Amino acid sequence: MPEQSPLDLAEGDLFGPHNLPYGVFSTADEPERRRVGVRIGGHVLDAGAAALTLGSPYAALLARPTLNPLLAAGRTAWRDVRRALTAWVTSPAHRADIEPLLHPVTAVTLHLPYEVADYVDFYASEHHATNVGRIFRPDGDALTPNWKHLPIGYHGRAGTVVVSGTDVVRPSGQRKAPTDPAPVFGPSVKLDIEAEVGFVVGTPSTHGTPVPLADYREHVFGLFLLNDWSARDIQAWEYVPLGPFLGKSFATSVSAWVTPLEALDAAHTAPPARDFPLLPYLDDSDEEEPGGYDIRIEVRINGEVVSAPPFATMYWTAAQQLAQMTVNGASLRTGDLFGSGTVSGPEVNQRGSLLELTWNGRDPIELATGKRTFLEDGDEVTMTAWAPGPHGTRVGLGEVTGRIVPASE
Amino acid sequence: MPEQSPLDLAEGDLFGPHNLPYGVFSTADEPERRRVGVRIGGHVLDAGAAALTLGSPYAALLARPTLNPLLAAGRTAWRDVRRALTAWVTSPAHRADIEPLLHPVTAVTLHLPYEVADYVDFYASEHHATNVGRIFRPDGDALTPNWKHLPIGYHGRAGTVVVSGTDVVRPSGQRKAPTDPAPVFGPSVKLDIEAEVGFVVGTPSTHGTPVPLADYREHVFGLFLLNDWSARDIQAWEYVPLGPFLGKSFATSVSAWVTPLEALDAAHTAPPARDFPLLPYLDDSDEEEPGGYDIRIEVRINGEVVSAPPFATMYWTAAQQLAQMTVNGASLRTGDLFGSGTVSGPEVNQRGSLLELTWNGRDPIELATGKRTFLEDGDEVTMTAWAPGPHGTRVGLGEVTGRIVPASE
């Protein structure tokens, strides 16, 4: 019996040829040589090597240490490269050339796949924003008056975006409980997660010129899972009046795999009905393609599922977030990231943060590894997701995982 | 009579050999060739060419299109390069080599001198924060409870930092006056300035490890004037609960010249007395070098001085801001910028924003070019500054200027 090819995938493989997410990898024998990889099943295709072997004109975009050259190449190139890759991994004629360029995903090191330019985080789930409002501002309206008129966002720290698998050091900082006479300093005691979907910009835009809703797919290359680690005690003390800063800036974990938007054509879904008419630059009621994505996320702590946030429930879409971010003329650069904000559905077991799941620690959750209000040292948080693909398939998003290590002395 | 050398400077020149700020320039005959320049009087020395001509080992750091390689080289290199430059522009032995490498500053194009990594803006003037609190939150305490316990900051947009001289397009966006039944969209009608001092990081830090106060000068290379353009109407509607976003992200102008911290050794001054004891990581009472700088800023609109903000009055120092920014383990990268926040002194004519100078438009100021509450299209805003230098000299900071052009259609 001949050995099975890594290209012969089981039916229903989340990483079949309908998916083909991009990453950057290196191998043990050449740890310094980072290059673009494309995931197929349980393997990584050395995409640049494949392009060279097959005489493809895309080698210049693929035999590189980051995705940025491909991101900057624009939508036509993205489509052409994807078409070529699909042919390489599906056509029997290419098998002999392609198989030697496949590495088991467990045998390679995966790196942050892009150089991050700016990082913006939004706040686009009505259920999440309502829960947070109730917890942090119990005496006011849960949603601020602006919430349903614009996607609220803020800039985060680009330099501390880390790839899935990177340990997260528990941050220290100031906090002040209402009962404390003065602020105290120490490791965060309310270390939390935020389950999000992130988007990466490929094509830049011109400073001074807004990007309309309809141009979303000209600029955004793909999406990925993102965990916006949050220290709730540090955040609560610092965030008035200028917003979150150190409570969020210590680490943001992203998946090693970027799923191109083209793989998600079957996953589009209409966002929830809007409660207020939107200003024209945000009004997506006439857009050809519904702006939401039916992405089903699962959040595990130490292997146990604690939540299943449904991305389809997000009030604001990625296209609206892009339009908002640029309506004042701010330019986009290749490598800009933006996060959706925490994804929380209407049900308790659909909440994307421990803040909400435990109602700020009031209602601990029970895990096999013990009771939890917030994260303990050693806890490992893993997010996975899938979305509908073509012809009844499922498109897997690459997981994002991270383990908490104790605060530095 | 021999022609005077550009190196023979008038007494009191703000850009004498005691200053030597760094920039990046190109010339009309080679517009694509950006290189490091050092300002001396009214001229720019092609620093990389000088290093090559004089056989200096620093050519590799100086013959480059940005300051980043020099920034990344670390404090010992910064000191050695400055010592070499000082010798080149002062020693008669080098005159014949150096003079041909000088370009009149008016004859070159000055570029953004560094690649910006992350950009953080602080809020460190007690007078400014008190004024803003009174204007925006008239029913509450002017300062939030955290203000005197930590330097409040937030991340801004790195991709829209522009060099002095770049036109600023009036941003459009949502605003909602209390009397508006719903938000309206249009060009900002409250376009403002913020006079600040910015700092640029040279030496990076390790993710997970805070930078203590005492290490400030190991990491920060230099400082410069910064104008944090602000659309007050957009900001007022968007900023609760996650802070300023589009009201600030359309443009931040920085001087073309970075003054190395070594040029400011005579400008150190003690910050104001602290009203509360500070947590150890912020407590600078035992630091050898006082953390403030005696920098005198002037703000002109269309050539007319409207304010003279004194940087010496800032409550929080740059070293404290750096310690705050990293105390949660967030890492620094070469090219990180941080702004001091608007500099406002106790007097009305020392306020660093029109928001304060006109009390949110209530008290217009009278200029030769007409009454102003906020900026009008065509207005040009220019900031200049100096600080005490060695032996009674003055160290000029490079100006930052920008002109408002009408909103795009």
Residue A45, number of CB atoms within 10 A of its CB: 25
Measured between beta carbons, the chain B residues lying within 8 angstroms of A247 are: 328
Of B183, B249, B408, Cβ closest to residue A208: B408
Q: Which of B401, B54, B35 is nearest to B254 (CA)?
A: B401
Structure tokens at B238: 């968007």
Q: What is the mean pLDDT of residues A103-130?
A: 98
| H or E, element range at A86 | helix A75-90
Distance (Å, rounded) from C-alpha A21 to C-alpha A258?
5
CA dihedral (A141, B244, B144, A230) in degrees, to 10, reads 80
Q: Is the pLDDT of residue A409 over 60?
A: yes
pLDDT at B1: 47
Rg (CA), chain A: 21
In this structure, is the dihedral angle defined by the CA atoms of residues B104, B109, B114 and B120, taken in order, positive or negative? positive
Distance (Å, rounded) from C-alpha A334 to C-alpha A224?
16
Measured between beta carbons, the chain A residues lying within 8 angstroms of B249 are: 155, 325, 328, 330
Measured between beta carbons, the chain B residues lying within 8 angstroms of A280 are: 185
Q: What is the mean pLDDT of residues A66-89?
A: 98
pLDDT at A280: 97
The b/e string for B198-222 (b: 16+ C-beta within 10 A; e otherwise) is bbbbbbbbebbebbebebbbebbbb
Q: How many residues does chain B have?
A: 409
Structure tokens at B136: 């925006």
Q: How far away is chain B from the Cα of A42, in angstroms, using its nearest Cα? A: 31
Q: Name the segment(s) of chain B with CATH classification 2.30.30.230.
A: 22-111
Test mutation, B242, B278, B340, chain A, max A CBs within 10 A = B242
| CB A354 within 8 Å of CB A371 | no
Distance (Å, rounded) from C-alpha B188 to C-alpha B375?
10
Q: Which of B88, B110, B92 is nearest to B101 (CA)?
A: B88
Q: What amino acid is encoded at A120 in this protein?
A: V
Alpha helices in B93-163 (DSSP H): 95-98, 126-136
Test mutation, B328, B334, B336, B337, chain A, max A CBs within 10 A = B328
| CB A183 within 8 Å of CB B279 | yes
- A209 DSSP assignment: -
Helices then strands, each counted (H, E), chain B: 10, 26
Grade residue A1 by pLDDT with cuts at 50, 70 and 90. very low
The b/e string for B336-375 (b: 16+ C-beta within 10 A; e otherwise) is bbbbbbbbbbeeeebbbbbbbbbbbeeeebeeeeeebbbb
* CATH number among 2.30.30.230, 3.30.70.1230, 3.30.590.20, 3.40.190.10, domain A22-111: 2.30.30.230
Measured between beta carbons, the chain B residues lying within 8 angstroms of A180 are: none
The b/e string for B292-307 (b: 16+ C-beta within 10 A; e otherwise) is bbbbbbbbbbbeeebb
pLDDT at B136: 85
Distance (Å, rounded) from C-alpha B309 to C-alpha B154?
22
Distance (Å, rounded) from C-alpha B369 to C-alpha B304?
9
The interface predicted TM-score of the complex, written ipTM, equals 0.97
Mean pLDDT by 10 residues, chain B (409 residues): 81 97 98 98 98 95 97 98 98 96 98 98 98 91 96 98 98 95 97 98 98 98 98 96 96 98 98 95 93 98 98 98 98 98 98 98 97 98 98 97 93
Residue B276, number of CB atoms within 10 A of its CB: 10
Question: Scanning the structure block, which residue is given the tokens 């191998």?
Answer: A27
Give CATH superfamily name and number for A119-405: Fumarylacetoacetase-like, C-terminal domain (3.90.850.10)
Q: Name the segment(s) of chain B with CATH classification 3.90.850.10.
A: 119-405
Distance (Å, rounded) from C-alpha A31 to C-alpha B26?
39
Q: What is the mean pLDDT of chain A?
A: 97
- A390 DSSP assignment: G
Q: What is the mean pLDDT of residues A348-377?
A: 98
The proportion of chain A whose per-residue pLDDT surpasses 70, expressed as a percent, equals 99
Give the catalytic positions of B in this structure: 128
pLDDT at B3: 65
Q: How far away is chain A from the Cα of B228, in angstroms, using its nearest Cα? A: 14
Could you tell me which residues come within 8 angstroms of residue A378 by beta carbon, excluding any fewer than 6 positions away?
A403, A404, A405
pLDDT at A200: 99
Determine the residue of chain A that is closest to B183 in CA distance. Answer: A149
